[in-house]
Amino acid sequence: MGVVVTTTAGAVEGRSDGELFVFKGIPYAAAPDGPLRMQAPVPAASWDGIRPALHFSSAPPQLPLTPGTPPLWRPADGLDCLSVNVWTPGGSGDRLPVMVWIHGGGWKAGSSSDPAHDGAILARGGVVLVTFNYRVGFEGFGYVPGAPANRGFLDQTAALRWVHDNIAAFGGDPDNVTLFGESGGGLSIAALLTAPAARGLFRRAIVQSPAARLLPEREAQRIAEIIAAALGVRPAELATQTPLALLSVQDEPLAAMEADPGAWTTPEAITAFTPVIDGVTVVDKPWLTMSSGVARDIDLITGSTHDEFTLFALSRGLLQPSASTMIKGLPTFARMTARGLRRHGLPRTRRPSQLHTVDLATTAAHLGLPPSAPDAYRAAYPGSTDAQLYVVMYSDAMFRMPAIWLAEAHTAAGGRSHVYDFTWASPALGGILGACHVADIPATLGNTGSPLATFVLGGPRPPESLLRLSEQLRSSWISFATTGDPGWPEFTPTHSLTRIWNTDPTVTANPLAASRQIWQELSGP
């Protein structure tokens, strides 16, 4: 059954599934094409009559997941991708809490049409759930002379402005909006907390596994120069190249970054396109800017998965499943990688013959830690192998410490923070992944049948323990979005009370104390 809602640009028709009203593919900005290419988003043109909102829009330009698999985007799809989707159990005048999910994907992949990001299950809990697309890869974050930086972030702000102006018509409360997102989506939210243009557009934020990758402007320029050289053009001509041409060389800078990591400020070369510290869209690292109190009026949840980097270490040949697991699990792992992991910006795995050894001294240097860091980690985590310490060190540098620093800065500035540690260990591949990066996405949104979930949960039938955990976590996130209380005490620097998300959630003090002390003594934010 169709249902019509009037937005500021015109009427849209969604559908009812009996419990929810669902609207897909509503434009929040004009297609970033022609004279709008590589520019800040502008509002979508208004329309007459009723516009169908029954299908997702095209995805932003990005490469196919792997050769031979269906791509999320094709050149024929064009660039009309800046759209929002709404799942709502209410209608105009209800003023339900609003939750806006920002997907990750290494800032070079991802789309709101991904089944992993479907909003129906959370919306049934009594919130208006919104997802949206934003430009990724070079289109969203590549340096273009004379063009604004961080166009993907500008898209996100435009989507939030659309929510503020329109969500009441869908039954939402524009004064009670909670942002939540994971990895690149998590850092997006951390940046939005301190972005002047986003002030007043949301009340609460849930930052999951914020990816600690921010580039100084000069390094973004170097990346653009490498891209331009690969295409045989000048950097000033990059805006005139087709999306497909840019995609064909988007990973060219990774070789230079991996060959000389000491020449770059980012600790891991997974993607060449990350937010740029331009002094306008991103003033500085969010955990530094937050200390000014710029977001003290916004309630915050932040945290990470406990074993963030196992997935990446496995892909780099630094961890190896048992022989029996490899025989049974790796074909499935390869399939799931092809279908799901690549769209989340995650790398492919190496074959057993490509396994590498770990040099912790080099690891420390890459992370900006002093030569004493490996010994400090060995003392803090006795009995761990070098490969396990590699995982801990990179987990800390890339995700775990940035989440803690964000809470520390926010709390010190007078804000309210809550911290969590997601420790539920996946049984996939004999348990080698542990509580890996992206393991919290199925638990957060409840979509346990997506390709990503099928891989990370170890099969098409999710463990009962994960289903129980998901129900509790979703209830907590909805409670926070509704009242600001997620169900566990606030974080303070002296007590550092932390929610441990596992089958039976608990609260403990400072579970990452050892890593926090190492970084405090040896490096800092």
Q: How far apart are CA 422 and CA 416, in angstroms?
A: 20
Q: Count the neighbouring beta carbons within 10 Å of the beta carbon of residue 4.
A: 12
Q: How far apart are CA 82 and CA 86, in angstroms?
A: 14
Whole-number Cα distances in Å, 428 to 213, 310, 330, 435, 469: 28, 12, 10, 10, 17
Nearest CA to 9 among 42, 57, 56? Answer: 42
Name the active-site residue from 103, 117, 344, 437: 437
Structure tokens at 418: 């809550």
Active site residue 103: no
- Residues 44, 161: contact at Cβ < 8 Å? no
**350 φψ region: left (φ > 0), alpha (ψ -120 to 50), beta (else):** beta
Placement of tokens 């003392």 in the chain: 379
Active site residue 437: yes
Structure tokens at 427: 């049984």
- Residues 381, 514: contact at Cβ < 8 Å? yes
- Residues 82, 155: contact at Cβ < 8 Å? yes
Name the active-site residue from 268, 308, 395, 417: 308
Structure tokens at 467: 């289903």
Identity of residue 205: A
Residue 51 bridge partners (DSSP): 12
Q: Are strands 172-182 and 128-132 parallel, antiparallel or unpaired?
A: unpaired
Name the active-site residue from 113, 183, 188, 450: 183
User: What are the residue numbers of the active site?
Assistant: 183, 308, 437
